[in-house]
Amino acid sequence: ETGVTQTPRHLVMGMTNKKSLKCEQHLGHNAMYWYKQSAKKPLELMFVYNFKEQTENNSVPSRFSPECPNSSHLFLHLHTLQPEDSALYLCASSLRGQGSWGTEAFFGQGTRLTVV
């Protein structure tokens, strides 16, 4: 248990569906992230939120829409996805502050997404 909880753990959706992934952290962190892990590729950063404000969008297609209502919750809204979007989607959180110490990211267990 890392203190970062993701739901659902598994999701199968059609290309015309709309679904949302949820992430919640109980670590008192002030930054949250979405990462994508595809087979045979390194983890890729998708979005960064700092104090609920989106600070980075790593050229992610608009069919992925993040939402961060507060510093403990993060959502990823999905619509009209493609089969190649099937992957493990990982949420992470960290502290953001001066210096490096204590700013490591802690990950949730991920949502295994399959687009059919």
Partner 1 sequence: GQQLNQSPQSMFIQEGEDVSMNCTSSSIFNTWLWYKQDPGEGPVLLIALYKAGELTSNGRLTAQFGITRKDSFLNISASIPSDVGIYFCAGQLGNAGGTSYGKLTFGQGTILTVHP
For residues 22 and 79, which CB has a smaller minimum distance to partner 1 in the complex?
22
Contact 75, 23 (CB under 8 A): yes
Q: How far is C-alpha 54 from the geometric centre of its chain's CA atoms?
A: 12
For residues 37 and 80, which CB has a smaller minimum distance to partner 1 in the complex?
37
Contact 97, 31 (CB under 8 A): no
CB 80 → partner 1: shortest distance, Å? 26
Binding site for partner 1 (CB under 8 A): 2, 4, 6, 31, 33, 35, 41-43, 45, 48, 50, 56, 90, 92-101, 103-110, 112
Contact 86, 15 (CB under 8 A): no
